[in-house]
Amino acid sequence: MSLLSVTEQEYLRTSLESKNNNNLQPIRPDGRKIDQFRPMGISLDFLPTSNGSTRLVSSDGTEIIVSSKVECVDATGLDLGDFLVIDLDIQGYRDDSIYVNQMKSILYKSLNSKLMESGCLKINAKYSFKLCLDVLVLSKFSYPLSLISMAIYTTLQSTNVPMLLESESEKNANISGRSGANQPKDIELNIDELPQFNDYDMKPLNFQSPLIFLIALIGDNCIVDPSELESSVADNCLLVSFYDKKVTAPIKSISLNDSYIKGFTPQHLQKSIKLVEKIAPDVVAALN
Amino acid sequence: MSVISVVKKSTGSLIDDDTPYYYKDSKTGTDVLENGDGDEPMSEEESEAHDNDADTAGIITPGKLITDDSIWMRGHGTYSLANNTYSSVCGTISKVNKLLSVKPLNGRYQPETGDHVIGRIVDVGNKRWKVDIGAKQHAILMLGSVNLPGGVLRRKSESDELQMRSFLKEGDLLNAEVQSLFSDGAASLHTRSLKYGKLRNGLFVQVPSSLIVRSKDHTHDLPGNITVILGVNGYVWIRKTTVPGTSGTNNNGAGLNNVSASASTAATLNYLRANEKDYQPGITRLEEESSWEIYSDKNDNIPNSIRQTIVRYSNVVKSLAHCQIGITEQRVIQGYEASMAYPNLGTLIETETMESLGQDVINAEKMRG
């Protein structure tokens, strides 16, 4: 729904702009507090053929499916950016549209550096896992990035990767290069054997991905998790990432609608960051 | 209160194990109406008995054999293969004489003449507006079926055709009555009554149309100085109650006086708007101005307490819809009273709260009998 009548817009604006004095909060159309999310349901690990999966259904009907697959790759000659692939598909949008690509790049940027820093994908000196995330937005009514980041968070929390055979990894250390006996080139490079994995034993990936919070700015007010109605009258929207118990880059602004375009002030930024710092630990706790 | 509530399942199953199965078919057979095993023609008593069976069987699913008796005429929601009648939708059987049809539980709103609906203008066309009322097709609102500014009795003029957007434009919400149906099922609306027209001062909520019960009156004044309009199409408008006479609905007697003035309406409109501040009201112009108010885009001044009450009502309506409870004035009031147990409006969006609210409404109704 993008079409609202003039009086509806006016009503929503005045409700949401109402000042924060006298302990009055802006009146959101569904009665939430400024720091309250809509309830959601999450099903974990429902795709048996993936390493981790999440189906997230928000109470407004937004439905997101995320699945993760890991692949063992030869890490030599690969860039830091080559270990993560995010495929984002949003119902009703072309894959090459700005909307999808912008979201994909924000997700990629926030996720990749943290993933590389943590080093959780490394197998041994030469081999590494490559993480492929498939994100499917089956239905959405407002900007879904925040929910996607939550779904990715729970997916990576539940992702299990195969364990190396213990003996195999030791053996590798001793007899590295033996398999390449007939290939002098490999001996030169001192290449490990392809890692052997245990068929049944899996270990958790152990990576807490960054969460992205949407803070809609309306007048002087900052509200978290804007709904469809709120999005359609919001001046601006800040994306604030949260990782490892603190607010982190990237912080970005996007516009949620075409009719209200306004900048934001340092006060907005300060307010939003404070808001995220306040609510993020609760969100993380709820998702864990 | 927590900022977020997340229900997590990690069983790997998408279907709740504890999901109650409300509608179990009490009959073991596959057919609901089938006439036993004998070939003898159905007597009236037997037919009655089977009718009762069909009612107790409750909900039938698509593809289910309803009857193999060719005596029934097949209506909506059914199809036939080799003289057998099957259901093509999920719903309840309805029989009128020998006409057998299945009423779908859910689905798009099907307009009927006389329905009080709420719609949103999606297109302004040649002497008509297209209105989204949640049906299969957009409804049509002809320029001739609205109250034109300058009096109820006035005929439409050419200048009206040229300024249709100053009455109603894309996005505007209005309530109207279904005047007639076209042969393709599309509805033709009219707003030629003072209770219909553009909607202001409130909040729009949408619920499944199957939950709205058709009744004599769909506009209700509720406690808390709130008026709610329950459109039969499932569109609900919750607004501040306005006192008649202050909101431009007072043009009852204006008709006759304004017939002569109406031709100049278009010209005076611009004049009026340009000179709103220093405009000296004459007797006919005053009436014109007030009748333009029915198409005004300005909200009244709504205090925050009323806004909060509107939100409360909207959450109550959503809770009733969540619990699949038919929405009536009585239940909305009941739900509103029950919701007073939750002073914090934000808690009303949580699933448990919505369900307990629905339970309260049902209990209260049982108590009343």
pLDDT digits (tens, 9 = 90+) for A88-102: 999 999 999 999 999
Supply the DSSP string of A66-91, one letter for each residue.
Answer: EEEEEEEEE-TT--GGGGEEEEEEET
Confidence check: pLDDT of A17 > 90: no
Confidence check: pLDDT of A83 > 50: yes
Tokens of A80: 């830091």
Of B200, B318, B349, the CB nearest to A32: B349
Q: How much is the pLDDT for A24?
A: 62
Q: Fold for B107-199, please state it.
A: OB fold (Dihydrolipoamide Acetyltransferase, E2P) (2.40.50)
A131 domain-assigned: yes
Phi, psi of A221 (to 5 degrees): -95, 145
Which residues in A140-235 belong to E strands, given as ranges?
160-164, 197-204, 211-218, 221-224
For the range B347-352, what are the long-range contacts, defined as Cβ-Cβ under 8 Å and sequence gap of 24 or more? Answer: B347/B1, B348/A31, B348/B312, B348/B315, B348/B316, B348/B319, B349/A30, B349/A31, B349/A32, B349/A38, B349/A39, B349/A59, B349/B315, B349/B318, B350/A39, B350/B5, B351/A39, B351/A59, B351/B5, B351/B7, B351/B322
Mutate which: B2, B3, B123, vs A, most A CBs within 10 A: B3
Which range in A254-263, B30-39, B140-149, B315-324 is most confidently predicted, on average pLDDT? Answer: B315-324
Asked if A261 contacts A235 with a C-beta cutoff of 8 angstroms, the reply is: yes
Confidence check: pLDDT of B45 > 50: no
Separation in Å, CA of B287 to nearest CA in chain A:
23
Chain B residues touching residue A221 (CB < 8 angstroms) = none
More confidently predicted of B152 and A140 = A140
The average confidence (pLDDT) of chain A is 84
Token match 């507006």: residue? B129
Tokens of A151: 């779904």
At CA B181, angle to CA B218 and CA B88, rounded to 5? 90
Contact B9 A42 (CB under 8 A): yes
Return d(Cα A203, Cα A201) in angstroms, integer.
7
| pLDDT interval class at A171 (50, 70, 90) | low
Q: In this predicted structure, which of A69-73, A153-157, B123-127, B151-155 has the lowest mean pLDDT? A: B151-155
Of B173, B304, B314, the CB nearest to A24: B304
Q: In this predicted structure, which of A158-172, B222-236, B266-280 has the lowest mean pLDDT? A: B266-280
Calculate mean pLDDT across residues A178-183.
Answer: 45
CATH of the domain at A117: 3.30.230.70
Return d(Cα A205, Cα A163) in angstroms, integer.
10
* Chain B touched by A283 (CB under 8 Å): yes
Calculate mean pLDDT across residues A259-274.
Answer: 88
Percent of chain B exceeding pLDDT 90 equals 38
Per-residue pLDDT reduced to its tens digit, A114-125: 888 888 888 877
For residue A29, the chain B residue with the least C-alpha distance is: B311
Contact A4 B171 (CB under 8 A): yes
The helix or strand, by DSSP H or E, that contains position A174, with its residue range, turns out to be: helix A166-175
Calculate mean pLDDT across residues B335-346.
Answer: 90
Q: Which amino acid is at B315?
A: N
CATH code 2.40.50.140 region(s) in chain B: 107-199
Other CB atoms within a 10 A radius of the CB of residue A142 amount to 24
Interface of A with B in 28-67 (CB under 8 A): 28-33, 35-46, 48, 55, 59
| pLDDT interval class at A144 (50, 70, 90) | very high
Q: How much is the pLDDT for B244?
A: 56
Return d(Cα A285, Cα A126) in angstroms, integer.
36
Per-residue pLDDT reduced to its tens digit, B254-313: 333 343 344 344 444 544 444 444 444 444 444 555 567 778 888 888 888 899 999 999
3-state secondary structure of B73: strand
Q: Which amino acid is at A111?
A: L
| pLDDT interval class at A2 (50, 70, 90) | low
Check: pTM over 0.90? Answer yes or no: no
Calculate mean pLDDT across residues B5-11.
Answer: 75
Percent of chain A exceeding pLDDT 70 equals 88
Q: How much is the pLDDT for B59?
A: 85
Chain A residues touching residue B13 (CB < 8 angstroms) = 43, 46
Domain count, chain A: 1
Count of pairs with CB atoms under 8 A, one residue in A, one in B: 131
Q: At what angle do helices B283-292 and B265-274 cross, to 10 degrees?
A: 80
Q: How much is the pLDDT for B265?
A: 46
Of A5, A32, A43, the CB nearest to B172: A5
Mutate which: A25, A30, A63, A157, vs B, most B CBs within 10 A: A30
Confidence check: pLDDT of B40 > 60: no
Per-residue pLDDT reduced to its tens digit, B72-91: 888 888 998 888 899 999 98
| pLDDT interval class at B48 (50, 70, 90) | very low
Confidence check: pLDDT of A185 > 50: no
Q: At what angle do helices A266-287 and A145-158 cross, to 10 degrees?
A: 30
More confidently predicted of B291 and A107 = A107
Chain A residues touching residue B204 (CB < 8 angstroms) = 8
Contact B3 A35 (CB under 8 A): yes
Confidence check: pLDDT of A82 > 80: yes
Supply the DSSP string of B213-273, one letter for each residue.
Answer: PP-S--EEEETTTEEEEE-TTSEEEEEE---TTSSS---TTHHHHHHHHGGGHHHHHHHHH
The helix or strand, by DSSP H or E, that contains position B358, with its residue range, turns out to be: helix B351-368
Other CB atoms within a 10 A radius of the CB of residue B326 amount to 11
Other CB atoms within a 10 A radius of the CB of residue A173 amount to 10
Asked if B239 contacts B226 with a C-beta cutoff of 8 angstroms, the reply is: yes
Return d(Cα B321, Cα B103) in angstroms, integer.
19
Give which of A90, A111, A118 is closest to A206, Cα–Cα: A118
Return d(Cα A52, Cα A207) in angstroms, integer.
12
A116 domain-assigned: yes
What is the pairing mode between strands B73-74 and A52-58?
unpaired
Return d(Cα A152, Cα A287) in angstroms, integer.
11
- Give Cα separations from B278 to A8, B166, B203, B281, B286 (angstroms): 29, 22, 33, 9, 13
A113 domain-assigned: yes
Return d(Cα B341, Cα B250) in angstroms, integer.
39
Mutate which: A10, A43, A64, A287, vs B, most B CBs within 10 A: A43
Q: At what angle do helices B351-368 and B329-339 cross, to 10 degrees?
A: 120
Q: How much is the pLDDT for A23?
A: 54
Other CB atoms within a 10 A radius of the CB of residue B364 amount to 16
Percent of chain A exceeding pLDDT 90 equals 36
Phi, psi of A61 (to 5 degrees): 100, 0
Separation in Å, CA of A193 to nearest CA in chain B:
35
More confidently predicted of A77 and B223 = B223
Confidence check: pLDDT of B9 > 80: no
- Give Cα separations from B311 to A15, A159, B65, B90, B200 (angstroms): 10, 41, 45, 33, 15
CATH code 2.40.50.100 region(s) in chain B: 59-104
| pLDDT interval class at B55 (50, 70, 90) | very low
Confidence check: pLDDT of A191 > 70: no
Q: In this predicted structure, which of A192-196, B62-66, B205-209 has the lowest mean pLDDT? A: A192-196
Say if domain B59-104 classifies as CATH 3.30.230.10.
no
Q: How much is the pLDDT for A178?
A: 47
| pLDDT interval class at B2 (50, 70, 90) | confident
More confidently predicted of A128 and A168 = A128
ipTM score: 0.84
Q: How much is the pLDDT for B52?
A: 40
A141 domain-assigned: yes
